[in-house]
């Protein structure tokens, strides 16, 4: 989506050309001005505007190319490169999910980071296999938190009929299939969605290892990627308070 703009920024970050940095800066500014701040995540909207202002200031107030000019150009280009990570695509308005239902703060931070990568980078770029793997990983983390963050719920999970008795929940030994079954048993996710979710994502770990992927004979195409994200969003929608 914006990889070509990042490449322009990188040209200035790594080796600012002494003969024509202003031309590259002008091109970078032109591309950034085509982007709508509303299509950025909230954390990047103000920074996009700041980067544009910084480039204009550099172009207008530094008539000669000096060491200072090149240093500032490199810093501005770095800022431009970083702010593009918050871009969600044209017309996306970059709406991100809230994961306030995840109680473990550090785990919630990881989930938010991974979901952003899934929604803004992997799926839009056509990385189907990576999308399925990431969606499965996020769902596993969400269900793990839901079954372990509260001591009472954890005790019920361990005593559940579908709990794998020889695996340690606290050590993350339960598979996604186990987490789903117990979450349904405890009423944390609806049973009518569980089978579909389990079918779509239970084997996501197989995609991490090429040989397992070959043996599974399970395709990983655009359809699987969108179903995987849909399954994840379905669970999140159920867990998000109205």
- Please give the C-alpha separations between residue 22 and each of 53, 69, 73, in angstroms, as whole numbers: 15, 10, 9
Beta bridge partners of 40: 87
Contact (CB, 8 A) for 184 and 160: no
Whether 145 and 232 share a structural domain: yes
CA distance 71 to 58: 11
Residue 227 CA to its chain's centroid (Å): 16
Res 163: pLDDT = 95
- Between 20 and 75, where is the model more confident? 75
Q: Does residue 59 lie within any of the structural domains?
A: yes
- Report the SS3 class of residue 223: helix
In this model, does residue 120 exceed pLDDT 60?
yes
Reported as a single tens digit per residue, the pLDDT across 164-174 is 989 999 998 99
Residue that the structure tokens 């849909």 belong to: 230
pTM above 0.85, yes or no: no
Res 79: pLDDT = 94
Res 40: pLDDT = 86
- Please give the C-alpha separations between residue 1 and each of 83, 124, 126, 167, in angstroms, as whole numbers: 14, 8, 11, 43
Please give the average per-residue pLDDT across 151-171, as a whole number. 94
First to last CA, the chain: 33
CA distance 176 to 182: 10
Q: Please give the tally of structural domains in the chain.
A: 2
Whether 130 and 43 share a structural domain: no
Q: Which residues of 149-179 are buried (b: 16+ CB within 10 A; e: fewer)?
A: eeeeeeeebeebeebbeeeebeeeebebebb
The confidence band for 203, taking pLDDT boundaries of 50, 70 and 90, is low
The confidence band for 119, taking pLDDT boundaries of 50, 70 and 90, is confident
Q: Does residue 97 lie within any of the structural domains?
A: no
Average pLDDT of every residue of the chain: 86
Q: Does residue 91 lie within any of the structural domains?
A: no
Q: Does residue 98 lie within any of the structural domains?
A: no
Structural domain span for residue 77: 3-86
Q: Does residue 100 lie within any of the structural domains?
A: no
Whether 125 and 37 share a structural domain: no
Choosing from 58, 86, 114, the residue where a domain stops is 86
Res 147: pLDDT = 96
Res 209: pLDDT = 58
CA distance 111 to 102: 9
Q: Does residue 231 lie within any of the structural domains?
A: yes
Whether 118 and 207 share a structural domain: yes
- Region of residue 91 (left: phi > 0; alpha: psi -120 to 50; beta: else): left
Whether 50 and 141 share a structural domain: no
Whether 217 and 153 share a structural domain: yes
Whether 116 and 221 share a structural domain: yes
Q: Does residue 156 lie within any of the structural domains?
A: yes
- Between 49 and 219, where is the model more confident? 49
In this model, does residue 69 exceed pLDDT 60?
yes
Whether 76 and 165 share a structural domain: no
Whether 67 and 173 share a structural domain: no
């Amino acid at each position: 989506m914006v990889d070509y703009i990042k490449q322009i920024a990188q040209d200035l970050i790594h080796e600012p050309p002494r003969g024509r940095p202003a031309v590259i800066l002008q091109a970078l500014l032109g591309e950034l001005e085509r982007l709508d701040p509303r299509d950025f995540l909230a954390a990047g909207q103000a920074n996009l505007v700041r980067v544009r202002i910084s480039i204009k200031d550099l172009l207008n107030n530094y008539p000669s190319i000096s060491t200072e000019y090149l240093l500032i150009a490199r810093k501005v280009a770095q800022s431009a490169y970083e702010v593009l990570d918050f871009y969600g695509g044209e017309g996306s308005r970059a709406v991100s999910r809230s994961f306030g239902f995840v109680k473990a703060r550090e785990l919630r931070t990881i989930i938010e980071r991974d979901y952003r990568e899934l929604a803004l980078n992997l799926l839009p770029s056509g990385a189907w296999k990576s999308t399925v793997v990431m969606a499965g990983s996020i769902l596993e983390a969400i269900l793990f938190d839901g079954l372990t963050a509260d001591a009472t719920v954890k005790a019920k999970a361990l005593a559940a009929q579908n709990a794998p008795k020889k695996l340690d929940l606290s050590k993350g030994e339960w598979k996604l299939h186990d987490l789903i079954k117990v979450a349904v048993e405890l009423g944390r996710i609806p049973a009518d969605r569980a089978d579909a979710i389990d079918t779509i994502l239970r084997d996501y770990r197989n995609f991490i290892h090429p040989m397992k992927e070959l043996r599974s004979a399970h395709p990983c195409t655009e359809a699987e990627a969108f179903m995987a994200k849909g399954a994840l969003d379905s669970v999140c929608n159920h867990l998000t308070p109205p």
